[in-house]
Structure 1
Amino acid sequence: MDNYHSIIASIDIGSSKIIVLIASVDDSGKFTVIGHAIGNSAGVTKGVIDNVEQASQAINQVVQDAYSSCDIDQCLNVSTNISDPHLTVINRSGSTYIPTKEIRDKDIEISVKNACGIPTPANKQVISSVINNFTLDKDSVTHLGVVTKHPIGQTATNLEVNMHIVTVSNQCVNAIEQSIRGSGFGLNNIVLNSMASSEIYITQDEKDSGVCLVDIGAGVTNLSVFTKGGITYSAVIQNGGNQITQDISDAFDTSFEEAERLKLEYGNAQVKSIREDKLVPFQQIDDDDPDQSERYLSQQSLVEVIEQSYSTIFSSIKKVLQSQKLDRSLKSGFVLTGGATKIKGCDMLMLSCVTVRTKLGRVNVDKITTKKLQFEGGLKDPVYACALGLLLFDPDESDIRKEQSSNKSNIFGTIRQKLSEF
């Protein structure tokens, strides 16, 4: 193969699909996808692995297919995703007095230690700890100060660091590690779905003005909120594209597979978008006859079910953000991605539900390209959002979990890795 600086890979473990991307990174930092595979998932319910053996077999098959798509037979630099409905997010600050008046590395380390000096429950571990910014000489009354991302060398008497810390269950992490262990990949990073997707879909300008990334997968909906340039909040809603399919199945007494076909072939997120109703053939399971018989339903009635299901997801998102008082902080609105957002009218329905600007995410093609690779929709298909974002996510995050394995109440040592960003 060509002489690349390094090889990295990502594994997106979803409720319905598993995606593996293999990429090279050249000396300029440009990512090029050189290998790809997608396959059916197993042992995963609502984004969480509940059968390690089944998940491991499914992952291994897709990994081998990805290897076959390029001349790579091993990769030790791998990132994967996590969707834990019981995740906890903490926005913490820590400060320190600067005796020399000039900020040095040691001062940053002390402020980070003070911010992270909180005990972690025995059944949880920190999966992400992000430095959003620093505040110099914050006034105790007005709470104002000089905000910067690059404090080293600046003059101040007090330094405060502002961090976003996410904890997830040990059980979720252990299941992921066990499932990937047999694939031949060397796992070194686990990232929240929406945080990964934001790497490829959210611009820094949007993060500065306030934006929410919504990743609607088959099993769950992941969201991350960014304000003032950094991440503020993350959550997992236990509802996704599979629930929409199930609602169709329940409404018309048909199989899940047939409901999925109806959704993909005739679906729309808004009834008002159906200009002319038509009859749609489908296979209904007859209670009196074990054989399936073909029947007809109106497209409008199908879309009514779909619209109600999507509206439930969007209403849940709105309530979550309102509970955190973040619904009025999104000047750049919502960015939608994930496989379940491919249905027509998804963005317009969410706009009507949340009354805040909403758009479908677009891949930042300046960050990543394809080479000798052809697959449906290319990189712009939202189904690849998380897998692409995992390739771009800061690999220095990986050491956070390693540090906790020896001391769960102290993640200070691992934050040193993050200081390279500044």
Structure 2
Amino acid sequence: MRIESVAADNNFFVSLDIGSSKIVILLAEEIEGQLKIFGHGIGPSAGVKKGLIVDSEKTSQAINAVVEKAYSSCNTKFFNVSVNISDPHLTIINRKGQVLIANSVITEKDVELALKSAKAVATSTNKQVINSVPNSFIIDKDPITHRGVEVDKPVGLEAKTLEANMHIVIASNQAVGSIEKSIRKSNLGTSMIVLNSMASSEPYLSQDEKDNGVCLVDIGSGVTNISVFTNGGITHSAIFKSAGDQITDEIAYAFNTSFNEAERLKIQYGDAQIKSLREDQLIKFKPIGGLEECYLSSHSLVEVIEQAYLDLFSLIKQNLKSKKLDRSLKSGYVLTGAGSKIQGCDELFLRSFRVRSKLGQVDTEKIDGNEMIISDPTYACALGLLLYEPDESYLEELQPDNTVGFMGKIGKIKGNLFKF
């Protein structure tokens, strides 16, 4: 079988979402400024617990199975992927860097120096910076009042000082190494590693929402990720160990049944709100060690589910309140991830937070091509990884009168592909 190189004018992008319960690969190509999905694979995960790879061999085998599905879906082979990370032990901080402007007019070099100063985080030898995203620039900040002028594109403006504020994600070398090792064992390379919620925000959040303040809530199986955007930039991210699997665990404990049986009950009969139930009904299920099947009421099942979701929402609420961000979200909350698929999740969230909230809807002007994938929040992170711009691309974006589209910024990392 002869392998032919893809035409040089085609742009291909490949994402790999390594989750606690599933692994997803998506392939897309750019057509007139929009990404079109043309290949995909999805399968069960292995060797991953609460967002952490604990057995790279099992994870690699699971990735391999999904790679084969992706290959066969589009007759296309690839070698590099953008991948997510959702390790609960990540360190996520905001840092500032300031420089004096030598010739009164801010140059690209000044911006680069300010960003490098902000990014110069003192990390231990066993940790590394994996994401560093600028969220704001301030010129001529007064050292006493701490006030200055916030600008989007500082290059070309007159100023004495420039301050850059960055959102920085730090991971352990062990966590990064486990991801890269699992991917390498699948004969793939790692283009970039991106915080889960930062990637998931790409398909769902508009610039207006980011400007007015919005929180992306990605409820996965093993962990829940959030990222907050205010004044157009990302200002806070957090990871919670409570997610879809925790809901299932609560069901299993309440009714003395297995995890798999509890998952079945959640999927087939689950609802996030008791008030949504039209009538109570008896549901047959298998208890642990029981020779005979038992029955539970749908009301009691949903009662357990509702409380588990409320507990998760309380964790999110407390986290945002501790950062004084709970009143900064004029655009409210956007929910996504597999855990948001349960009936009534958005309504319960609204009831809990009493702030505008909605289920995420993909911006099809950015990415399209497969209705099943676009409409399923299970694919949120994989879709976002396709759209995510490498951290280095901000330098071109900052230049005045920039006409480069979101898919044309420098440094976009593409998968190396060949067609059979």
**TM-score, length-scaled by structure 1:** 0.90
- Sequence identity percentage: 56
Paired with 1:256 and 1:101, the residues of 2 have a C-alpha distance of 64
1:84–1:169 contact (8 Å) kept in structure 2: no
User: Aligned pairs, how many?
Assistant: 393
Paired with 2:265 and 2:143, the residues of 1 have a C-alpha distance of 60
| Corresponding residue of 1:184 | 187
| One-letter amino acid matched to 2:272 | A
Paired with 2:35 and 2:173, the residues of 1 have a C-alpha distance of 31
| Corresponding residue of 2:296 | 297
| Corresponding residue of 2:352 | 353
Matches within 5 A, 1:178-327: 178-287=181-290, 291=291, 293-327=292-326
| Corresponding residue of 1:17 | 22
| Corresponding residue of 2:144 | 141
Matches within 5 A, 1:145-156: 145-156=148-159
Paired with 2:366 and 2:113, the residues of 1 have a C-alpha distance of 34
| Corresponding residue of 1:102 | 105
- Say yes or no: does 1:392 pair with 2:387: yes
| One-letter amino acid matched to 1:8 | F
Matches within 5 A, 1:170-181: 170-181=173-184
2:50–2:87 contact (8 Å) kept in structure 1: no
Paired with 1:48 and 1:75, the residues of 2 have a C-alpha distance of 23
1:24–1:32 contact (8 Å) kept in structure 2: yes
Displacement of 1:101 after TM fit? 1.0
- Where does structure 2 lack aligned partners over 5 or more consecutive residues? 399-420
Q: Give the one of 77, 80, 85 matched to 2:83.
A: 80
Paired with 1:72 and 1:51, the residues of 2 have a C-alpha distance of 28
Displacement of 1:88 after TM fit? 1.4
Paired with 1:61 and 1:211, the residues of 2 have a C-alpha distance of 37
Provide, for residues 359-384 of structure 1, a one-character-per-residue CA deviation record: whole Å limited to 9, x for no partner: 111111111111xx57xx33110000
| Corresponding residue of 1:49 | 53
Structure 1: 4+ residue segments shifted above 4 A: 1-4
Displacement of 1:190 after TM fit? 0.5
Pairwise CA RMSD = 1.6
1:216–1:339 contact (8 Å) kept in structure 2: yes
Q: Give the one of 69, 76, 79 matched to 2:73.
A: 69
| Corresponding residue of 1:8 | 13
1:74–1:184 contact (8 Å) kept in structure 2: no
Paired with 1:216 and 1:173, the residues of 2 have a C-alpha distance of 22
Provide, for residues 279-298 of structure 1, a one-character-per-residue CA deviation record: whole Å limited to 9, x for no partner: 112222345xxx4x222211
Provide, for residues 332-380 of structure 1, a one-character-per-residue CA deviation record: whole Å limited to 9, x for no partner: 111110001100110111122222221111111111111xx57xx3311
Displacement of 1:99 after TM fit? 2.4
| Corresponding residue of 2:361 | 362
Paired with 2:64 and 2:274, the residues of 1 have a C-alpha distance of 41
2:90–2:169 contact (8 Å) kept in structure 1: yes
1:362–1:380 contact (8 Å) kept in structure 2: yes
| Corresponding residue of 1:418 | 394
| One-letter amino acid matched to 2:17 | D
| Corresponding residue of 1:408 | none
Cα distance change of structure 1 residues 31 and 75 upon mapping to structure 2, 3 Å threshold: farther
Paired with 2:120 and 2:382, the residues of 1 have a C-alpha distance of 32
| Corresponding residue of 1:121 | 124
Provide, for residues 96-135 of structure 1, a one-character-per-residue CA deviation record: whole Å limited to 9, x for no partner: 2212111112211222232223311222111110111211
Paired with 2:286 and 2:10, the residues of 1 have a C-alpha distance of 53
- Where does structure 1 lack aligned partners over 5 or more consecutive residues? 398-414
Displacement of 1:33 after TM fit? 0.6
Paired with 1:172 and 1:334, the residues of 2 have a C-alpha distance of 29
Provide, for residues 7-28 of structure 1, a one-character-per-residue CA deviation record: whole Å limited to 9, x for no partner: 11111111110011011123x3
Displacement of 1:71 after TM fit? 1.9
Helix, strand or coil for the counterpart of 2:257? coil
Paired with 2:111 and 2:324, the residues of 1 have a C-alpha distance of 30
Instruction: State the structure with bigger RCO (CA 8 A, min sep 6), 1 or 2.
Output: 2
Helix, strand or coil for the counterpart of 2:78? coil
Paired with 1:200 and 1:279, the residues of 2 have a C-alpha distance of 40
